[in-house]
Structure 1
Amino acid sequence: MPVNCSFAASERSVGATEEANHLTLNSESAILVDSRSGDVLYEKNADRAMAPASITKIVTGIIALEYGRLNDNVVVSRNAREAEGTRIFLAEGEQKRLEDLVYGLLLNSGNDAAVAIAEHIDGSVAAFSQRMNEFAASVGAHHTHFTNPSGLYEEDHITTASDMAKITAHAMKNEKFRQIVRTRVKPWEGKEWKSKLINHNKMLVSYQGANGVKNGYTTQSGFTLVASAEREGTEFIAVLMKADDDRQIYKDAIKLLDYGFKNYKTVPVLQAGAKISEGGERYRIRQNVYASIPKEDHFRVHVNGADGLIVETDSGVVREYPSVLMREQHLQIADPDRKMEKISSSGDKYQSLPEFLMLCFWRLMIFFMCWMVILLIKKKQV
Structure 2
Amino acid sequence: MNNILKRHYGSSAKKITFMFLITTLFFNIFLNAKTFATELDVAPEITSEAAILIEEGSGRVLYEKNQDQIMYPASLTKVATAIYAIENGNLDDIVTVSENARNVDGTRVYLEAGEQVPLKKLIQGLLINSGNDAGVAIAEHLHGTVEAFAPHLNDYLKEIGLENTNFVNPHGLFDPNHTTTARDLALLTQYAMKNDTFREIFGTEELKWDGETWDTTLITHHKLLREQPYEGVTGGKNGYVQQSQQTLITTAKRGDLSVIAVVLKGPTQKVIYNDTRALLDYAFANFHMVSIPKGNEYKTKERIYVTKDIFAFPIAQNEEFKEKITSDGLLKIVNQNEEELLVYPTSGLDITEIQTEKEVKAAAVEEKDPLVTLNGFTLVSAITILGIILFLKLRMNRIRARRF
TM-score, normalised via structure 1 length = 0.78
Deviates more, 1:197-206 or 1:20-29: 20-29
Name the structure 2 match of 1:300.
Answer: 322
Match of 2:126 among 98, 105, 115: 105
Alignment counterpart, residue 154 of structure 1, candidates 175, 178, 189: 175
**1:294: Cα distance to partner?**
1.4
Query: Are positions 1:55 and 2:79 aligned together?
Result: no
Separation in structure 1 between the aligned mates of residue 72 and residue 62 of structure 2, nearest angstrom: 23
Shift of 1:131: 1.7
Q: CA deviation at 1:210?
A: 0.3
For structure 2, which runs of at least 5 residues remain unmatched after alignment? Answer: 1-37, 356-365, 375-404
TM-superposed deviation, 1:63: 0.6
The reply to whether residue 238 of structure 1 matches residue 261 of structure 2 is yes
Q: Deviations over 1:299-338 (max 9, x none)?
A: 432212222112244676642314234531378xxxxxxx
RMSD, aligned CA: 2.8
Is the radius of gyration larger for structure 1 or structure 2? 2
Comparing both chains, which one has the higher relative contact order based on Cα–Cα distances under 8 Å and sequence gaps of 6 or more? 1
**Could you tell me which amino acid in structure 2 is paired with residue 284 of structure 1?**
V
Give the letter for the 2:252 counterpart: A
Q: Is the 8 A contact 1:293 1:317 kept in 2?
A: no
Q: Secondary structure at the match of 2:225?
A: helix
Match of 2:113 among 81, 84, 92: 92
Is residue 171 from structure 1 mapped to residue 192 from structure 2 by the alignment?
yes
Cα distance in 1 between the residues matched to 2:44 and 2:338:
22
CA contact (8 A) 2:136 2:170 kept: yes
Note the 1:178-257 alignment, pairs <5 A: 178-205=199-226, 206-257=229-280
Counterpart AA for 2:55: D
Determine if contact 1:105/1:113 at 8 Å carries over to the other structure. yes
Map 1:1-382 to 2 at 5 A. Answer: 23-205=44-226, 206-271=229-294, 274-280=295-301, 281-285=303-307, 288-295=310-317, 297=319, 299-313=321-335, 318-324=340-346, 325-329=349-353
**For residue 236 of structure 1, what is the amino acid of its counterpart?**
V
Distance 1:195 1:263, change over 3 A: same
Residues 56 and 246 (structure 1), Cα distance of their counterparts in 2 relative to 1, 3 Å cut: same
Query: Which one-letter code corresponds to 1:81 in the other structure?
Result: R
AA paired with 1:329? Answer: E
Query: Which structure has more helix as a fraction of its residues?
Result: 2
Shift in Å, 1:211:
0.7
Structure 1 consecutive aligned stretches of length 4 or more whose deviation exceeds 6 Å? none
Given that residues 275 and 282 in structure 1 are in contact (C-alpha distance below 8 angstroms), is that contact kept between their aligned partners in structure 2? no
TM-score, normalised relative to structure 2: 0.74
User: How many residues align structurally?
Assistant: 324
CA positional deviation for 1:295: 3.2
Native 8 Å contact 1:308 1:320 kept in 2 = no
Unpaired segments ≥5 residues, structure 1: 1-16, 332-341, 353-382
